[in-house]
Structure 1
Amino acid sequence: MTMYHLVKRAIVATLFISASVGSASAIDIQEVTSPGGITAWLVSDDTVPVVAVDIAFKGAGSSQDPEGKAGRANLLASTIDEGAGDMDSVAFQTALQDNAVRLSFDSSRDHLYGDLTTLSSSVEQGFNLLRLALTEPRFDDEALTRIRAQITVGLRREQNDPDNVVARLWSRTAFPDHPYGVPANGTVESVANLGHDDMVDAFKHGIARDNLVIAVVGDIDADTLAALLDSTFGDLPEHADLADVAEVEPAMGLTVSDTVDTPQTAIRFGGPGLPRSDPDFIPAYVMNHIIGGGAFSSWLFQEVREKRGLAYTVYSYLAPYAHTAVFGGGTATRNDQAQEAVKVILDQFERMATEGPTEEELADAKAYLTGSYALRFGSSSSIARQLLFIQIEDLGMDYIDKRNDLVEAVTLEDVRRAARRIFGEGRPTVAVVGAPAG
């Protein structure tokens, strides 16, 4: 690689990190529709010469992996950019580097994601490389063998990591006979059986215009973007052909364990949460911050770590998936303290359902959640990702403007009602991995 290319890559790397369009309240979102009918959300800003693009193919995540093919979506996301058109992997990656373009893909339970970041001077080249990856991926044997080996190394390492083992144990217990209970990145055995035909099949069924969501931020105007939308995505199939995924609720009240020779016990807990569209989701979000999402200030941190010294860290979260919603969390503690740690955690859930927080705790949570919201918009890439999620969740183009008002409007009764809905119906399912006493 020439010195010119090395300097260019260093400059663009700095721009990618620093590119920003200001605070959340100053973001002006446009809806751009191409002549061919492809729609994207755009935040146009020429402060720095960078364009960030985030895309998602809704429904094309690991929940589409066929039985015995766990990890297919993960391998697909890892190999889409490993050669396209007449370029093998080396040639394609070289083209990305020569044009100062960053392109990557990843997958979740529900969706397949892609993100592109490029200098505005290279925007046409960047979009063209994205087009090639989405319309003419190669899935060459060399690339598949290499990426499959990398994934397998990670999976073997996870087999000896109690945190990963307990996460998988909880998922298959909470979601038996459902795609959410299957490891998203597969197993050593399932990944070994994935090949070229599997990638072609996943690609053919999951990549289309009708499940495509696009967010673009940076130094590009609406007219330029409209033309690029058609040239980049216009050749995709009109409709995805996705398998139906059943709606499901996580099982409640179960306790499962897996014995591992380790001095610590890893613990995961979880039960039904609230969908993102539920009117009580924002109150539940505030409640979660108070009970376990707020790090040092949370009830779980104070009761489990500060008062009793049972664990280094403990956390909770809300996860609204496309076909379920989960309230969950976890910790790790010494084997002889595992039973006590679980009891303390469950006691806090009961306390939240019956008593709820104080006015001061609610005020502190709302102040933190509203004050920290702007941190999600620190760069062009982070703004694009936020816009993408807002579209996926169908929250509306004005969500950024009204989000903090929604948090501020939460009352004590709202939090208590959400807590009763989450904790009042029974005990969550608990998974433990280690050698816990009792």
Structure 2
Amino acid sequence: MNRWLMKLSLALVALGFVSGAQAVEIQHWTTDEGARVYFYPAHSIPMLDVRVVFDAGSARDKRSGTAAMTQGLLDMGAGEWDANAIAEQLESVGAQLGGSVGRDSAALSLRSLTDESRLDAALTVFTKVLSQPTFPQADFEREQARLIQALRQQKQQPGAQVGKAYYRALYGDHPYAAPSSGDEESVSLIRRVHLFHFHKRYYVANNAVIALVGDVDRARAEAVAARISSQLREGEAAPELPEVVAPSASQQRIEMDTQQSHILMGLPAVRRGGPDYYALYVGNHIFGGSGFAARLMQRIREDRGLAYSVYSRLSPMSELGPFTMGMQTRNEQREEAIDLLRSNLREFIQEGPTEEELQKSLDNIIGSEALRTDKNAELVRYLAMIGFYELPLDYLDTFSDKVREVSRDDVKAAWQRHIDPDNLVQVVVGASVEAAPEKAPTSEAPQ
């Protein structure tokens, strides 16, 4: 089972969205300043998890790497506090900050006890970090130097190089093409003032989703959300991203002295919340998204021994995210493995899964709901995802039913609509394969 599926299954159970369980409504409202709020009360432990997500991912960068540096330096200074003061105040009340940044979004999260004085102190720090970052010059310079050094090191890492080249080939001039971390040139051009400008434009209430999961009632949740939202500028929502233009089929190989080739191939195929998502998802689970149970793993690794790692994945985003096949194989068997990967995709698109494959996949996905967790920190991520991508409030509640309804014909039709095997982008990082030298003729008579 892939990691995303495992986490979603855990979330379904923890929220009460299991077969035979009573559905629990996710509560939703909008603050006076325009932030959209999603709340689920969970009273098993005296904790509150808060996650604020902004449409402020790397797709909004003018200089690639700005979004990542802005998010990464939020807690280095805020208002009158430096990084040490922020850390000490959080530690004194047992609270934790976290965060992330991707192509679509940037987020800051807080985990705190719900004791009134502790939560009040934690929220004071959280709102100041969110709304009044100072991006200290010394910390900015240190982070910039660290990031540039990391990007230089990535030039020697085939996995990093194939991923960056793959996204450039997939997306061309689209904002999704650039890596979230930027590149050496773009990061070196970023100045501290650019972080202030980026924060002022995108870290605003009308561009925010606030997700809350924990041991508070609706009134207290509303007070927490209002407190966060009121500290943000109202601002404006980020504009729609441009539509993704499907690239033409292409093949690229990057020379690198490695024993194994790293291979990625695919195309833009799936938007978060798209009508064919469930059929694409179930199909991917069967084809290459379920580890050793997947068709690709069985046919290419287990049956033929042509790859150490082979998989497929769907990466839905605000605009078309990629369907990707990935593989690592020895350089000398690279072409054979690529041909087999392509032929398996073509067969799957033409014929769809077998009934046995479908039933095993559905049983695996739906049966995983028997898992249990109390990890509110995971649940708040799902609420934030629902809010950010404006998915139905019953998304988690209906997930299993939607999966259960998928048929072989649904999978086949969806894959034929969205995945064209003749229009794949392919990127390979690996060493050239020299032709084996011919043996010199011998004058000895055969024995």
TM-score for the superposition, normalised by structure 2: 0.88
Residue 377 of structure 1 deviates from its aligned partner by 5.8
Whole-Å separation in 1 of the counterparts to 2:404 and 2:328: 34
After superposition, the C-alpha distances for 1:3-29 in whole angstroms (9 at most, x for unaligned) are xxxxxxxxxxxxxxxxx9564346442
**Structure (1 or 2) with the larger CA radius of gyration:** 2
2:94 to 89, 94, 100: 100
Aligned residue pairs: how many? 416
For 2:64, the equivalent position in structure 1 comes to 70
**Mapped pair 1:40 → 2:37:** yes
Residue ranges of structure 1 left out of the alignment (5+ in a row): 1-19
Whole-Å separation in 1 of the counterparts to 2:31 and 2:229: 10
Whole-Å separation in 2 of the counterparts to 1:35 and 1:402: 30
Question: Does the residue aligned with 2:270 lie in a helix, a strand or coil?
Answer: coil
After superposition, the C-alpha distances for 1:21-44 in whole angstroms (9 at most, x for unaligned) are 564346442235556665422221
- 1:231-246 equivalences under 5 Å are 231-240=227-236, 242=238, 245-246=241-242
**Mapped pair 1:112 → 2:109:** no
Residue 124 of structure 1 deviates from its aligned partner by 1.5
The letter of the residue matching 1:278 is: G
Residue 327 of structure 1 deviates from its aligned partner by 0.7
For 1:204, the equivalent position in structure 2 comes to 200
For 1:432, the equivalent position in structure 2 comes to 428
Question: Does the residue aligned with 1:70 lie in a helix, a strand or coil?
Answer: coil
Mapped contact 2:272–2:318 kept (Cα < 8 A) = no
The letter of the residue matching 2:207 is: N
After superposition, the C-alpha distances for 1:81-120 in whole angstroms (9 at most, x for unaligned) are 1110100111112212122111122211011111111111
For 1:363, the equivalent position in structure 2 comes to 359
**Mapped pair 1:395 → 2:395:** no
Task: Say if 1:300 and 1:376 are closer, same or farther in 2 by CA, change over 3 A.
Answer: farther
For 1:251, the equivalent position in structure 2 comes to 247
Mapped contact 1:35–1:226 kept (Cα < 8 A) = no
**Mapped pair 1:275 → 2:268:** no
Whole-Å separation in 1 of the counterparts to 2:372 and 2:262: 30
For 2:26, the equivalent position in structure 1 comes to 29
Whole-Å separation in 2 of the counterparts to 1:331 and 1:409: 31
The letter of the residue matching 1:51 is: L
Task: Say if 1:424 and 1:177 are closer, same or farther in 2 by CA, change over 3 A.
Answer: closer
Superposed CA RMSD in Å reads: 2.0
Whole-Å separation in 2 of the counterparts to 1:203 and 1:37: 17
Question: Does the residue aligned with 1:385 lie in a helix, a strand or coil?
Answer: helix
2:168 to 151, 155, 172: 172
Task: Say if 1:284 and 1:186 are closer, same or farther in 2 by CA, change over 3 A.
Answer: same
After superposition, the C-alpha distances for 1:291-331 in whole angstroms (9 at most, x for unaligned) are 11011111111111101111211111111221223211211
For 2:84, the equivalent position in structure 1 comes to 90
Whole-Å separation in 1 of the counterparts to 2:219 and 2:75: 27
For 1:300, the equivalent position in structure 2 comes to 296
The letter of the residue matching 2:354 is: T
Mapped contact 1:63–1:180 kept (Cα < 8 A) = yes
2:74 to 62, 70, 80: 80
The letter of the residue matching 2:65 is: G
1:147 to 143, 146, 149: 143
Whole-Å separation in 2 of the counterparts to 1:234 and 1:81: 19
Whole-Å separation in 2 of the counterparts to 1:244 and 1:409: 32
Question: Does the residue aligned with 1:348 lie in a helix, a strand or coil?
Answer: helix
Whole-Å separation in 2 of the counterparts to 1:176 and 1:130: 38
Task: Say if 1:322 and 1:153 are closer, same or farther in 2 by CA, change over 3 A.
Answer: same
Moved more, 401-410 or 314-323: 314-323
Mapped contact 1:350–1:423 kept (Cα < 8 A) = no
1:317 to 291, 313, 317: 313
TM-score for the superposition, normalised by structure 1: 0.90
Task: Say if 1:123 and 1:28 are closer, same or farther in 2 by CA, change over 3 A.
Answer: farther
Residue ranges of structure 2 left out of the alignment (5+ in a row): 1-12, 435-447
For 1:15, the equivalent position in structure 2 comes to none
The letter of the residue matching 1:111 is: S
Residue 277 of structure 1 deviates from its aligned partner by 3.1
Moved more, 264-273 or 234-243: 234-243
The letter of the residue matching 1:338 is: R
Question: Does the residue aligned with 1:273 lie in a helix, a strand or coil?
Answer: strand
**Mapped pair 1:386 → 2:382:** yes
After superposition, the C-alpha distances for 1:169-228 in whole angstroms (9 at most, x for unaligned) are 111111112221112101123222222101101101111111211111111121112122
Residue 160 of structure 1 deviates from its aligned partner by 0.9
For 1:126, the equivalent position in structure 2 comes to 122
For 1:13, the equivalent position in structure 2 comes to none
Whole-Å separation in 1 of the counterparts to 2:240 and 2:212: 30
Task: Say if 1:425 and 1:260 are closer, same or farther in 2 by CA, change over 3 A.
Answer: closer
Question: Does the residue aligned with 1:395 lie in a helix, a strand or coil?
Answer: coil
Whole-Å separation in 1 of the counterparts to 2:44 and 2:52: 23
For 1:5, the equivalent position in structure 2 comes to none
Question: Does the residue aligned with 1:372 lie in a helix, a strand or coil?
Answer: helix
Whole-Å separation in 1 of the counterparts to 2:373 and 2:415: 30
Mapped contact 2:170–2:268 kept (Cα < 8 A) = no
